[in-house]
Structure 1
Amino acid sequence: MHVKAIKMRWLTGGVNYSYLLSTQDKKKSWLIDPAETLEVMRDLTSDEVGSIEAIVNTHHHYDHAGGNVTTLAALKEKGNHLSRVIAGSQRSAIANDIPDNLQEYTLGNINILCIRTPCHTQDSTCYYVRDTDTKEQAIFTGDTLFTGGCGRFFEGTGEEMDDALNVRLMKNLGNSANWENVKVYPGHEYTLGNVKFIREYIYLHKSDNERFNKLETFAKANEVTTGQFTIADEQAFNPFMRLDDPIVRRQVGDSQGSSARSQIMDKLRQMKNNA
């Protein structure tokens, strides 16, 4: 399979990504979160335009779903008359295919599992994809999971985000040996900011977390980090997925380890919001 990351809103600070997920032969594609139609369309070749079988949203926020109508119209002008818009709810404009939790789709030889992860929004949905030919795996996480971070709890709670990240995702991505194979494609390029937060507030010393050190080095040297890290990496360095790590707990004021996981999640999010 192929994943093409398309930058949107980088000049205005949004640092969003849209993604073109394509089969290995590039004959069939999904266009994920094409919020800014002009930016997306100018980055697609005519063959790519013709390959798109659905517009797909990770959630309804305008910077992910706001381009549904205009992108559909732009594709039609280029000769692609698709009408399918897959999204977690009809709060996404013109959504007409609302998947249930764990509903499966196929795109050529790619199997796609929809994992509903309510918290950032109640319709947040992650798409776990597996190419049966090449054995490549990826997950498109929208604003639920970022590299080294997670989304704000706009429509949910710390308990819901813990469930989304650490239960719903993990139990559906195979066993722990498989996590190294699942590349993460988030909705924004927030990695460097997340790294700065973690170094200042969580893993203060190089000896605290070796895998985080590698993330920090990469993020400082590379503007684009999407697709470079895996679910196993996130398990190793993302504090929102390490709620029982004694260092994480100490840094949020729970040295005794007595707080509920949801409380740790809430404290981490509050710290990040205020950083």
Structure 2
Amino acid sequence: MKIEQIYTGCLAQGAYYIVSENEAAIIDPLRETKPYTDRLEKDGVKLKYIFETHFHADFVSGHMDLSKKTGAPIVYGPTAAPEFEAIIAEDYQIFEIGKIKIKVLHTPGHTMESSTYLLIDEDGKETAIFSGDTLFLGDVGRPDLAQKSAHMTQEELAGLLYESLQTKIVPLADDITVYPAHGAGSACGKNMQKETVDTLGNQKKTNYALNQPDKASFVREVLDGLSAPPQYFGMNVAMNKGGVASFDEVMEKGNKPVSVEDFESVAENTGALILDTRDAAVFHQGFIPNAINIGLKGDFAPWVGAMIVDVQQPILLVADVGTEEEVITRLSRVGFDNVIGFLDGGFESWRNSGKEVDKINRISAGEFADQYTENSKIIDVRKETEYEAEHVNDAYRRPLADINEWVTTLDNNEHFFVHCAGGYRSMIAASILNSRGIRNFTEIEGGFNKIKETAIPRSNFVCQSKI
């Protein structure tokens, strides 16, 4: 038997490839299927089942493409109602792969169809669970995403999750390995550990959610401090439930060079958003007017999902030459399938053509310290928890995820400084502000990590003032 965790850092997502004898199973595959078909071919095994732990909200699964290419059926837990052919398993139903077995444990709460898959090895020993978003390392799945479809409150869903954990997971042996669907950085939980594999026994000791004295305490603690889910979550659920275009079609459509001469007219005629995926350190020195910067070398896909409201939005790419396929792939993972092309030759071709170039005013933390006064207006776009831990005195707490709400409160006649933790998120904010005609600001390179090295006064007092 072989178990391989295929972990994708930018999504903090784990898919699983399991082999026994000449058969295989894959759990929660990502959108692109080649990594899985390559493994199947290399190992000379047949894919027998594709298991889905639930209808994912934070990424688009590759289950349909993989099923079409391999002939393997898709398996969901009880109550799932996909709009395509699939096996809807019964609670405790067993599936055989080679000499091992997978037992379905229906564990509703995160979503109603959520299921945990219990692996029983060749010797009949319960060895591991693939817990999806039911149980994370250090946390459990947020129970506020399925309220509308389940016709239940988040408190009711949290109570259901408590019962699932207590009746299906906690009674299992301590030496069972826990393989979750996500790790630290995912918006599907709030307190996940950086590790991606653990024993159930250790989770029983260290996971706050498994150490609540009763259901009421569990509900209260699990719901406390949940931020609003990213806007694209609902759209991804619908795509996973209803079916999507094949990844190959998405790549063929998007992987098309657009000349400098045609780029502006294509953008204007299609209403496309110009998405520049270069590093912030390069972007601020020159970019196409109105382009939005979300750097590929960061939490690219989740921030695209959070910043771009509609997954159907046509997108034109400006990317480092040679990275276009990677960009399209990572966009497709969160459902942004409507890439219509990329700037041929990258930004340098635009600059060399003599076309108009815009810039962002970026300064170092040292320069910020020289310019800082008690009257300086500072906008901190980090998450609330980061801000509350420590921030520049009197800085305004304005999380990047909420930019569409607070951008309308800004006065373009009043200069302000903007920063995040390291410069990635603040450049996203800067590009959005710039595209909306707000230009009287300065972005700080290195963000709060560098500001802490200066003498600028800091505190953990929460400023409640309005802009």
1:209 corresponds in structure 2 to none
Counterpart contact for 1:72–1:83, Cα < 8 Å: yes
Report 1:13-24 matches (<5 A): 14-23=11-20
1:149 corresponds in structure 2 to 139
Residue 100, structure 1, aligned to residue 90, structure 2: yes
Q: 1:94 to 1:65 in 2, by over 3 A?
A: farther
Residue 232, structure 1, aligned to residue 201, structure 2: yes
Report 1:9-158 matches (<5 A): 10-11=9-10, 14-23=11-20, 25=21, 27-38=22-33, 40-41=35-36, 44=39, 46-48=41-43, 50-61=45-56, 63=58, 66-73=61-68, 76=69, 80=70, 82-88=71-77, 89-92=79-82, 94-133=84-123, 135=125, 137-153=127-143, 154-155=145-146, 157-158=157-158
Return the offset for 1:167.
1.6
Q: 1:46 to 1:7 in 2, by over 3 A?
A: same
Aligned residues: 217
Equivalent position to 1:266, from 219, 227, 231: 219
Corresponding residue SS for 1:123: coil
Residue deviations 1:148-194 (CA, integer Å, cap 9, x gap): 100010235221111111222234x2xxxx322x0000001228999
What code does the residue aligned with 2:212 have? L
1:169 corresponds in structure 2 to 169
Per the normalisation by structure 1, the TM-score is: 0.69
Corresponding residue SS for 1:35: coil
Per the normalisation by structure 2, the TM-score is: 0.42
In structure 2, C-alpha distance between the alignment counterparts of 1:120 and 1:235, rounded to whole Å:
19
Q: 1:43 to 1:241 in 2, by over 3 A?
A: farther
Corresponding residue SS for 1:235: helix
In structure 2, C-alpha distance between the alignment counterparts of 1:108 and 1:188, rounded to whole Å:
27
Counterpart contact for 2:110–2:158, Cα < 8 Å: no
1:205 corresponds in structure 2 to none
Residue 243, structure 1, aligned to residue 212, structure 2: yes
Return the offset for 1:68.
1.5
Counterpart contact for 1:58–1:142, Cα < 8 Å: yes
Counterpart contact for 2:23–2:97, Cα < 8 Å: yes
Structure 1 residue ranges (4+ consecutive) displaced by more than 4 angstroms after TM superposition: 62-65, 191-198
Return the offset for 1:197.
4.5
In structure 1, C-alpha distance between the alignment counterparts of 2:7 and 2:164, rounded to whole Å:
26
Corresponding residue SS for 1:52: strand
In structure 1, C-alpha distance between the alignment counterparts of 2:64 and 2:104, rounded to whole Å:
22
Counterpart contact for 1:34–1:64, Cα < 8 Å: no
Of structures 1 and 2, the one scoring higher in RCO (CA 8 A, sep 6+) is 1
